[in-house]
Chains A and B, each alone.
Chain A
Amino acid sequence: MATLTIGLFSSLIGSMNYDFALKLADAAKDKGHTVNLWFSGNAASSPQKGQKHLKDYSHGEKPLRALIEKGVEVCTCEACSVARAVQKTTAIEGVKWNAMHWYLAKAYSSDRVLHIGGE
């Protein structure tokens, strides 16, 4: 089994890159791989909890919680998140908060890195 780190820079709403990244992480985990997920840029607003699931919009909270439950390590860029008014106190439990070197450190020990930049 191998390690995959996904860097995601797209927003939860307004881009389906986010949906892709979560589904890919889920599929990789189901195959027994270790998966790390890094949020930066607009993706860093997505750890906000209490998201209302309206059918016209992608929904991140439920699948993100499920990934964390499965053992996917999820980390958000603290600077990117607080700049978007997302606070640890109101964030989805289990999401780690760190800085960009977390992503590089995970890349160091990963067999594969898929960096999904923003638009």
Chain B
Amino acid sequence: MSDVKITFLVQRPPYKSENPKLATTHAMSYQVVEILLEDGQTITPALCYVGEGVLNCLKDQKAMETYGITSTEMHLKNCLLVDMDVYACKEDFDKYGIGEDRIIDADDMGADKKMQIVPFAKIQELMETSTHVMFF
């Protein structure tokens, strides 16, 4: 068994650029990566939102209604639904005055997993313990 941990760190707000959303789709692809790996090899992603990146985590995004594209919210819900670890920086939510009631969850889809609101120190720790980091 050999596991490689990858931290996907999103530091930019959504929609102006496609890239913050690509963090979710790339992280999600860990679900099927085994078809390209040997037996026992796995990848464990940690999807983290920091700085302006936490603005990706606001619920009630209506990108489908307004621009006809899948919202970042829907991608994030899917990440939670497949039990991916998703973290967002508490200090940054506090900085922007965003309470927990405004943060995405996937309860309506039956997900057990919740977004984990953590101090930046936890995200730093995730980076330190991961094999690779990818900044979006």
Contact = CB atoms under 8 A, between A and B. Distances in A.
Contact of B134 (A41, A42, A115, A118): A115
A115 B132 CA distance: 9
A72 to B, nearest CB: 18
Contact of A119 (B6, B17, B37): B17
A117 B9 CA distance: 11
B33 A113 contact: no
Interface of B: 4, 6, 17-19, 22, 25-26, 28-30, 32-33, 35-37, 41, 43, 131-136
B136 A104 contact: no
Contacts of B131: 107
Contacts of B35: 101
Given A9-B22, A41-B22, A108 B4 contact: yes
A41 B37 contact: no
Interface string A54-71: 000000000000000000
Instruction: State the majority secondary structure of interface residues on B.
Output: mixed
Contacts of B134: 7, 113, 115, 117
B132 A100 contact: no
Contact of B6 (A40, A102, A107, A118): A107
A9 B19 contact: yes
Contacts of B22: 9, 40-41
Given A115-B134, A117-B136, A104 B6 contact: yes
A107 to B, nearest CB: 5
A108 B37 contact: yes
B135 A115 contact: yes
A7 B133 CA distance: 11
A113 B18 CA distance: 21
Contacts of A18: none
B19 A41 contact: yes
Nearest to A116: B135
Given A101-B32, A108-B33, A115-B136, 17 more contacts: A7-B134, A9-B19, A100-B26, A101-B29, A101-B33, A101-B35, A101-B36, A103-B26, A104-B29, A105-B33, A107-B4, A107-B43, A107-B132, A113-B132, A113-B134, A117-B134, A119-B19
- The 6 A-B pairs with the shortest beta carbon distances in the complex, nearest first, are A105-B36, A115-B134, A100-B29, A101-B29, A101-B33, A113-B132
